[in-house]
């Protein structure tokens, strides 16, 4: 079984919540609900980074969900320059710890460079509930 779904989002702050809801709704429909809290946090971080650092004005970003027997992969693609950098946040700052959270909560994450833009992805182990897997 291999499932895939994607959606485009505008370069607006409400898209962070909308992308999180899209992922939650999709994974719940597919029966992958064992680590939704962690996935929601990671999607929020990647969508926020895309909005703040990746998506040029007037452009969209894409969230892609892939699920297989035991793994979920979430990708956030934007068309802007720059690369994600995991850094130690300043103790007084509210910003800069997003990729550290992604590192701690996921099995793996990385970046794929494109001629225009990039895709930042993460994977997590997860299996669908028995009734959804049938």
Domains: count for the chain: 1
108 lies in which domain range?
A: 3-133
| Burial status of residue 43 (CB atoms within 10 A of its CB: 0-12, 13-18, 19 or more) | buried
Q: What is the pLDDT of residues 26-58, one digit of tens each?
A: 999 999 998 999 999 999 999 999 998 888 888
Residue 74 has pLDDT above 80, yes or no: yes
What confidence tier does 112 reach under pLDDT thresholds 50, 70, 90? very high
Instruction: Read off the CATH number of the domain in which 82 is found.
Output: 3.30.565.10
CA angle 38, 124, 127 (to 5 degrees): 100
Please tell me the pTM assigned to this model: 0.87
> What would the two tokens of residue 88 be?
């130690």
């Amino acid at each position: 079984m291999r499932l895939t779904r994607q959606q485009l989002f505008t370069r607006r702050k409400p898209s962070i919540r909308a992308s999180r809801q899209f992922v939650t709704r999709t994974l719940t429909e597919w029966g992958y609900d064992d680590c939704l809290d962690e996935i929601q946090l990671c999607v929020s971080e990647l969508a926020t980074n895309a909005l703040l650092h990746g998506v040029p004005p007037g452009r969209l970003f894409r969230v892609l969900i892939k699920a297989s027997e035991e793994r979920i992969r979430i990708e956030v693609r934007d068309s802007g320059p720059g690369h994600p950098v995991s850094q130690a946040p300043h103790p007084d700052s509210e910003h800069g710890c997003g990729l550290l959270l992604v590192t701690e909560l996921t099995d793996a994450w990385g970046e794929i460079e494109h001629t225009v833009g990039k895709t930042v992805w993460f994977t997590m182990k997860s299996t669908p509930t028995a009734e959804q897997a049938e």
